């Protein structure tokens, strides 16, 4: 399994002369500012609506109840619109480029690679869930009815797409492309965005062992996303893979108590008590192994899901 770097070399050389390190830092600060502002705005609006609705209840469930409620999940996902707003402003006014430049050299998402990334992660997510079930066979039917699940499925898909696409365009697009344009070492352009992405998934409510295993799994997933961008020079496969990963947790089997309102099944929450260090190590191995399997599915020469590099002779048909 070999990777031709030609597509990525075209992608990394695509920024204009305004993509300097100071401008990249300024653009990142703008993204963080608008992300924080949007998060505060939608949270305040959501909390106000939630407590207005809870006013007649005998035992209001408080802010924690809001964050775990369907409205809270909608609010949390909607807050990622701030990343898109910040990226548009940074690209338009700091770098004088179109936002679409971050998607690939063709300036659009490869639809075929998006679909392949989505299918590959859905397959490996199934493998992961089987292994996790063998480790801890505690799966219960979620409280949501099938009719409600069908009603909310499309809004959740749309909002999850908003969340995952904003993260990909920021971490595997804006930061990776900008750093790769200025630095040749992958320890800078690949490692720094991956570490930032991984650190955002720290859970203060989980034990140190579970946090370590989750972060190791997230780091492996970030590596997977970076590798497919490197192999294709396009964000298509990474966007599909990230969407498939998050939809599995939001709509099918949830492993987080705070995000299980729409899932058909609820597994034992990772932030709950009772997990041993051995459990954490096994969970990490499952996550890392499934990410490696996804890389094989997307890059092996004999795989029907193999993604293709975005080169000049195919950029118009991607």
* Measured CA angle at 210 (ends 288, 253), to 5 deg: 70
**So what's the pLDDT on residue 269?**
85
**So what's the pLDDT on residue 60?**
47
pLDDT in tens, 261-275: 899 999 988 877 778
Reply yes or no on whether the pLDDT at 123 is more than 90: yes
**So what's the pLDDT on residue 150?**
94
Mean pLDDT across the stretch 51-76? 67
> Residue 258: pLDDT band by 50, 70, 90 thresholds?
confident
Q: How far apart are CA 179 and CA 173, in angstroms?
A: 10
- The stretches of 55-110 forming alpha helices (DSSP H) are 62-68, 70-78, 81-89
**So what's the pLDDT on residue 2?**
73
Reply yes or no on whether the pLDDT at 70 is more than 60: yes
Do 189 and 180 meet the contact criterion of CB atoms below 8 Å apart?
A: yes
Mean pLDDT across the stretch 18-45? 94
* Better-scored residue on pLDDT, 193 or 257: 193
Within 10 A of 302 (CB to CB), how many other CB atoms are there? Answer: 7
**So what's the pLDDT on residue 53?**
62
**So what's the pLDDT on residue 276?**
85
Contacts of 133 (CB under 8 A, 6+ apart): 139, 267
Mean pLDDT across the chain, nearest whole number?
Answer: 90
Do 267 and 132 meet the contact criterion of CB atoms below 8 Å apart?
A: yes
CA dihedral 53, 157, 86, 65 (to 10 degrees): 30
Reply yes or no on whether the pLDDT at 105 is more than 80: yes
Strands 265-267 and 139-141: antiparallel
**So what's the pLDDT on residue 69?**
77
- The stretches of 169-274 forming alpha helices (DSSP H) are 176-182, 186-189, 191-199, 208-232, 236-247
> Residue 59: pLDDT band by 50, 70, 90 thresholds?
very low
């Amino acid at each position: 399994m070999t990777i031709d770097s030609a597509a990525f070399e075209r992608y990394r050389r695509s920024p204009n002369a305004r993509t300097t390190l100071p401008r990249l830092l300024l653009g990142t600060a703008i993204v963080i500012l608008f992300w924080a502002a949007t998060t505060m705005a939608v949270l305040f609006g959501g909390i106000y609506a939630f407590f207005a609705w809870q006013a007649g209840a005998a035992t209001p469930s408080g802010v924690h109840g809001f964050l775990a409620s369907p409205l809270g999940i909608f609010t949390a996902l909607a807050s990622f619109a701030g990343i898109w707003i910040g990226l548009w402003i940074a690209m338009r006014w700091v770098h004088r480029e179109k936002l679409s430049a971050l998607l690939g050299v063709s300036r659009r998402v490869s639809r075929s690679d998006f679909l392949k990334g989505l299918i590959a992660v859905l397959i490996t997510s199934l493998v992961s869930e089987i292994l996790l079930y063998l480790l801890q066979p505690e799966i219960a039917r979620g409280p949501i009815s099938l009719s409600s699940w069908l009603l909310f499925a499309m809004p959740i898909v749309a909002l999850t797409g908003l969340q995952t696409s904003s993260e990909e365009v920021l971490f595997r697009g804006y930061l990776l492309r900008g750093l790769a344009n200025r630095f040749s070492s992958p320890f800078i352009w690949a490692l720094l965005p991956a570490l930032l992405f991984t650190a955002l998934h720290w859970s203060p409510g989980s034990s140190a062992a579970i946090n370590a295993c989750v972060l190791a799994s997230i780091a492996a997933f970030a590596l997977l996303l970076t590798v497919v961008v490197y192999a294709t020079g396009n964000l298509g496969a990474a966007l599909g893979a990230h969407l498939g990963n998050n939809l599995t947790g939001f709509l099918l089997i949830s492993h987080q108590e705070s995000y299980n309102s729409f899932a058909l099944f609820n597994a034992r929450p990772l932030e709950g008590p009772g997990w041993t260090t051995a459990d954490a190590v096994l969970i990490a191995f499952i996550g890392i192994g499934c990410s490696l399997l996804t890389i094989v599915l997307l890059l092996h020469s004999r795989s029907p899901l193999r993604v293709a590099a975005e080169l000049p002779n195919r950029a118009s048909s991607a």
